[in-house]
Amino acid sequence: MATKVHMEALSPTMEEGQLVQWLKNEGDTVATGDVLAEVETDKATMELVARGEGILRKIFLGAGGTAEVGAVIGVIAAEDEDISEISGVSGGGAPAAAIVEEEAVSTPDPDPVVEEPTSGNNELASPVSKGGRVKASPLARRLAEQAGVDISQVPGSGPGGRVVKRDIEAAKASGDASPAPPVAPSWTPDEAEYEDVQTSQMRKTIAKRLITSIGPVPTFYLTVDVDMTRAMEARKSMNSMLKAEGAKVSVNDIVLKAVAGALRQHPNCNAQWHDGFIRRFKAVHIGVAVAVEDGLITPVVRHAHLKGISQIGAEVKELAGRAREKKLKPEEYTGATFSVSNLGMFGIHEFTAIINPPEAGILAVGGIEETPVAVDGEVLVRPRMRITMSCDHRVIDGAQGSRFLQTLKGMLEEPTAILL
């Protein structure tokens, strides 16, 4: 019996998906559980697996096309089975026959292929496919961009000759790497004045969720100014102790640990709004806003109140890295009880963040700024940081939010309290 290949709900909030690439071609033999394709959801790029066995007889949706959850995008059937009455969605994208190059049809591994156009001739044994495209992992591509290395001139040692991290590092170390070709001016008078960029699945979801927040949610904001003198001293001391281990504590790590401690003392802020009831959590699961190419995602540090500062820092770094590679699992970016957004590293000193429903609060963290302040009748320069809490008034009132911020401020100004 024929098996319809559906666009599946690969994340809890997914309503439609964009097909990145098919890993099987029409005519390929398929077994149950085989990875058929990669699909971009609203949060990550996920694998779509076969729910039946036979031959991939028909592909309806080409690479780059989108389809709603439940839509039929392909058919698996026996070679002689009649599938003429099965119809599927057509969401645009590349023609099915041109979806997968021969080199790309392989067993998925932890270092996925990303192909990009080459420039110029390739005299080295670099991994150029039949279509004149370089096969490289996302990490290798990013490292090459950062180092100014022409990735098309780097020999690949990965599966199928792809360029991986070690190849870029070797090219940099040898000094033989060709510089990346100069970037042409982005616009000249004889070119079009704008381009339309297709909305990613992540950006579409962000747009929908923001509408459900800033409009229906009665939000108010509370801001406090924090003296970070002691926190900066503590950070310096901790980094000195962690130097031998190669670890490092950031200001954000200290903030997250303090937030976790403060939420434990104020469970009314560690809560979610649901129709008919308010859910207050005993455990603290902090969503950490991470900027990615297509928008924003909030990986979750679970049970943050039970973890040390260095452990939180390592976890955030690891989650953020996989978030940028679109490799997070659904359970790693859902279920937060409170969120934190830090734009201090971008030179932003104060801002307001939008609540991520059903959470009742989010903390916006600004950068640390040397500021003249009055201390015991004297004007001194101190490192100050502004934090603003967005509160859902259905769950948190002004006094509750203020008490939470006072506790948080106290922990940051006397960081030994964080370690208790």
- Least confident residue range of 150-159, 297-306, 400-409: 150-159
- Could you tell me if 250 and 354 lie in one domain? yes
252 in Cβ contact with 317 (< 8 Å):
no
Residue 214 lies in a domain: yes
- Could you tell me if 399 and 277 lie in one domain? yes
Q: Coil, strand or helix: which one is 56?
A: strand
Query: Which of 132-136, 225-229, 293-297 shows the highest mean pLDDT?
Result: 225-229
Q: Is pLDDT at 386 greater than 80 in this prediction?
A: yes
- Could you tell me if 286 and 397 lie in one domain? yes
Q: Coil, strand or helix: which one is 16?
A: strand
- Could you tell me if 377 and 229 lie in one domain? yes
Between CA 177 and CA 159 the distance in angstroms is: 21
Query: Domain holding 295: CATH number?
Result: 3.30.559.10
User: Helices (DSSP H) in 110-188: which residue ranges?
Assistant: 138-147, 165-174
pLDDT score, position 146: 75
pLDDT in tens, 159-210: 567 787 788 888 888 776 666 655 555 555 566 655 666 667 776 776 666 6
pLDDT score, position 292: 84
Greater pLDDT, 130 or 75: 75
- Least confident residue range of 141-150, 158-167, 369-378: 158-167
Last residue within a domain, chosen from 127, 156, 174: 174
Residue 319 lies in a domain: yes
* Joined tokens for residue 132: 């004149």
pLDDT, mean over the chain: 82
Residue 183 lies in a domain: no
Choose, from 6, 28, 349, 393, the residue flagged as catalytic: 393
* Joined tokens for residue 362: 């989010």
Between CA 58 and CA 383 the distance in angstroms is: 63
Residue 206 lies in a domain: yes
Mean pLDDT of 326-340: 92
Greater pLDDT, 57 or 112: 57
39 in Cβ contact with 201 (< 8 Å):
no
- Could you tell me if 154 and 236 lie in one domain? no
Query: Containing domain of residue 139, as a range?
Result: 114-174
pLDDT score, position 5: 93
- Could you tell me if 9 and 76 lie in one domain? yes
Residue 216 lies in a domain: yes
Greater pLDDT, 162 or 349: 349
Angle at 315 between CA 260 and CA 163, to 5 degrees: 155
Greater pLDDT, 146 or 309: 309
- Could you tell me if 44 and 159 lie in one domain? no
Between CA 68 and CA 47 the distance in angstroms is: 16
Model confidence at 135, in pLDDT bands (50, 70, 90)? confident
Q: How many domains does the chain have?
A: 3
Mean pLDDT of 250-268: 95
Q: Is pLDDT at 95 greater than 50 in this prediction?
A: no
Taking alpha carbons only, the member of 354, 319, 344, 318 closest to residue 334 is 319
Between CA 290 and CA 297 the distance in angstroms is: 5
Q: To the nearest whole percent, how much of the chain has pLDDT over 70?
A: 79
Q: Is pLDDT at 23 greater than 80 in this prediction?
A: yes
225 catalytically annotated = no
pLDDT score, position 191: 62
Greater pLDDT, 236 or 1: 236
Q: Is pLDDT at 295 greater than 50 in this prediction?
A: yes
Report the 10 Å Cβ neighbour count for 172. Answer: 17
- Could you tell me if 127 and 26 lie in one domain? no
Model confidence at 101, in pLDDT bands (50, 70, 90)? very low
- Could you tell me if 304 and 275 lie in one domain? yes
* Joined tokens for residue 409: 């401020």
- Could you tell me if 216 and 165 lie in one domain? no
Residue 181 lies in a domain: no
397 catalytically annotated = yes
* Joined tokens for residue 175: 């000094």
- Could you tell me if 131 and 84 lie in one domain? no
Between CA 121 and CA 128 the distance in angstroms is: 10
Statement: the pTM of the whole predicted model exceeds 0.75: no
* Joined tokens for residue 412: 């940051």
pLDDT score, position 73: 93
pLDDT score, position 399: 95
Last residue within a domain, chosen from 37, 66, 100: 100
